[in-house]
Amino acid sequence: MADIKRKILLVEDEPDVLQAVADHLKRDDVEILKAFDGSEGLAVAEAERPDLVLLDLILPRMHGFEFLEKIKANQETSHIPVIVFSNLAGATNFEKAKSLGAIAYFVKTDVKLDEVVQKIVEILSLTS
């Protein structure tokens, strides 16, 4: 069982943020999938069926809210947990993300990356 990898899809258009998150998630039991815009992220989610998606909201080609709507509307991907990790603050954005199916919402400027990684580990029940 030790060779089973959990797939985490990072949908983020800022390469530095994407790399920082990927570096924090680097572990033997995790495979990191990357997408730089919402459309690409949706295609990767549908093709790869990741175990979790970490989603920015302000994305080219497809906004994160639209991504959330589409991934949750598709019976094949609706079960995939989505954590929002964005610079968009405010209760309205938080409530909208939750209503569309996000299981957690982190504002990039208000949280340490370790806290986000800990939430991912908790959700996927990965060993530390």
Q: What is the average per-residue pLDDT within 90-97?
A: 95
- pLDDT at 1 > cutoff 60: no
The hierarchical CATH code for the domain 6-124 is: 3.40.50.2300
Q: How many CA atoms lie within 13 A of 12 on its CB side?
A: 23
The predicted pLDDT at position 3 comes to 56
Place of tokens 């302000």: 58
Average pLDDT score over the chain: 91
Distances in whole angstroms, Cα of residue 104 to Cα of each of 3, 47, 49, 125: 28, 23, 19, 16
Q: What is the pLDDT of residue 127?
A: 44
Q: What is the value of pTM for the model shown?
A: 0.91
pLDDT tens digit string along 46-84? Answer: 999 999 999 999 999 899 999 999 999 999 999 999 999
Q: What pLDDT digit, counting tens, does each position of 106-128 carry?
A: 999 999 999 998 999 899 885 44
Q: Which residues pair with 82 in a beta bridge?
A: 53
